[in-house]
Amino acid sequence: MDKQTPFNFDTYDLKEELDRLRGKVKKPNIFIAGATGSGKSSVVNHVFGRDLTKVAAGEPVTRGIHQFMSDEISIVLYDSEGYEIGSDRQQAYADEVIGFVERAQTKGAAEQIHLVWYVINASMKRVTPLDRALIKQLNEATSVAVLLTQIDQVDVDELTALRQELMDVVPEEAVFQVSVAAELLNDPELRAHLDWERLVTWSVEQLDHSLQEGLLMEIHAESEAMLKLKRKKANRIISGYVASAGTAAAVPLPFADAIALTPIQVTMSVHLFRYWGVKANDDMLKTLIGSTIIPQIGRALSKTILLNVMKFFPGANAAASVINATVASGITWAIGLAINEVAYRNAMDSSKTIEQLLDSDFGSLFEKFMEQNPVTKKKS
């Protein structure tokens, strides 16, 4: 067994690690189509919690289509200038949009349009033949969600009629009725008629696994359903690190007050904090890991768990202070799940800060996940 160079937390370059992570997240390309005033910007504001077209720099990619991207944003947004319904410009718009999307689909995976949100203002009370033709064409090129917006302006019959007009255009599950009107959003009963959450879930599922994380990071998740989706999808991030911890054969295992984290685990922790949008600067993240996570893992590992783990794994040799890949994987898994759960709780209930939650909950969660973890369980 090769011994790794001992990991020195103090000289760990968190900033470099963050830059590397940022560069690695693959960004889904999302195209927002629809008439001027249909509610495109309002949709973006609501789903992402901010107007990404103001935060990011916009570049025209065709006459009427702008691309919005930024190092700080994990999706790329394409907003189209739209057209006045019924104007001559509508056909030109349709040609421009379909031309752009079809061209993009001939390029590499990173440049393709992964998702189209086609916005129709429900209060216009019609789906134009041009809309129908364009949606059909787009749907042959990529995944298209049709958003019926401003539904606070229509009644049930009008909404049903609109859905009827879309029946032969897209599958029913790709039609979403939404509104940003406060009287609907703030009333639990009325809110249940809005498809915001279904839109996000559906959109995430349309994407390749490698692109889902980027979208989930940008989602303005408030509701329990969204936060649970985010928690569940983090498992994929964690398993990536578990796999690399498993290949990093022998890991020096320090005892007692020493540091029980490997670079892989620190990077995973930072990655998860980022994924959850934990608002903390880089130094603060590092301090958090150093002051709350590391000591708790050290304590937990030096207790019974470590003894149990070692009983199950002859490869874990206390005398040599070395653990084998299987144990390393198990520890990585438990750290990942514990951080994920803490971040989830923090998002659910903001009355406690992330520091407080790490202090109060991380240790017991880590122990719980160590006991439950699939790696250690399989062998015992």
Ligand X SMILES: Nc1nc2c(ncn2[C@@H]2O[C@H](COP(=O)(O)OP(=O)(O)O)[C@@H](O)[C@H]2O)c(=O)[nH]1
Residue 330 one-letter amino acid: G
Picked from Mg ion, ligand X, none, the partner binding residue 290 (CB below 5 to 8 A depending on kind) is none
Q: Applying CB under 6 A, which of residues 37, 49, 252, 254 lies at the interface with ligand X?
A: 37
φ, ψ of residue 343 in degrees (nearest 5): -65, -40
Shortest Å distance, C-beta 68 to Mg ion: 11
**Per-residue mark of binding to ligand X, 152-191 (x: CB under 6 A):** xx-------------------------xxx----------
Q: Which is nearer to Mg ion, 118 or 276 (CB)?
A: 118
CA of residue 108 relative to chain centroid, distance:
22
| Segment 346 to 365, residues that bind ligand X, using CB under 6 A | none
Q: Which is nearer to ligand X, 45 or 317 (CB)?
A: 45
Neighbours of 161 (CB within 10 A): 13
Q: Of 355, 334, 363, nearest to 291 (Cα)?
A: 355
Shortest Å distance, C-beta 183 to ligand X: 9
Q: Which is nearer to Mg ion, 40 or 114 (CB)?
A: 40
3-state secondary structure of 203: helix
Q: CB under 8 Å to 368, separation ≥6 — which residues? A: 338
Picked from ligand X, Mg ion, none, the partner binding residue 254 (CB below 5 to 8 A depending on kind) is none
Strand order in the sheet with 115-121: 57-60, 65-69, 76-80, 29-34, 115-121, 143-149, 175-177
Contact call for residue 45 and Mg ion (CB under 5 A): no
Span near ligand X by CB under 6 A; candidates 4-12, 16-24, 29-37, 162-170? 29-37
Q: Which is nearer to ligand X, 44 or 334 (CB)?
A: 44
Q: Where are the beta strands (DSSP E) in the chain?
A: 29-34, 57-60, 65-69, 76-80, 115-121, 143-149, 175-177, 251-252, 322-323
| Segment 172 to 201, residues that bind Mg ion, using CB under 5 A | none
Here the tokens at position 289 are 């890991």
Picked from ligand X, Mg ion, none, the partner binding residue 37 (CB below 5 to 8 A depending on kind) is ligand X
Q: Applying CB under 6 A, which of residues 74, 90, 150, 265 lies at the interface with ligand X?
A: 150
Q: Applying CB under 5 A, which of residues 14, 18, 41, 299 lies at the interface with Mg ion?
A: 41
Q: Which is nearer to ligand X, 158 or 355 (CB)?
A: 158
Q: Which is nearer to Mg ion, 81 or 355 (CB)?
A: 81
Shortest Å distance, C-beta 118 to ligand X: 11
**Per-residue mark of binding to ligand X, 41-60 (x: CB under 6 A):** xx------------------
Q: Of 172, 115, 122, nearest to 138 (Cα)?
A: 115
Here the tokens at position 275 are 């994924």
Shortest Å distance, C-beta 75 to Mg ion: 17
Shortest Å distance, C-beta 35 to ligand X: 7
DSSP-assigned beta bridge partners for residue 115: 30, 143
Shortest Å distance, C-beta 30 to ligand X: 14
Residue 1 one-letter amino acid: M
Cβ 278 vs Cβ 356: under 8 Å: no
Here the tokens at position 203 are 């959109």
Picked from Mg ion, ligand X, none, the partner binding residue 181 (CB below 5 to 8 A depending on kind) is ligand X
For 28, 143, 365, the CA distances from 167, given in Å and listed in that order, are 27, 16, 48
Residues listed for the chain: 380
Contacts with Mg ion, residue ranges (CB under 5 A): 40-41
Instruction: Point out which residues bind ligand X (CB under 6 A).
Output: 34, 36-42, 82, 149-150, 152-153, 179-181
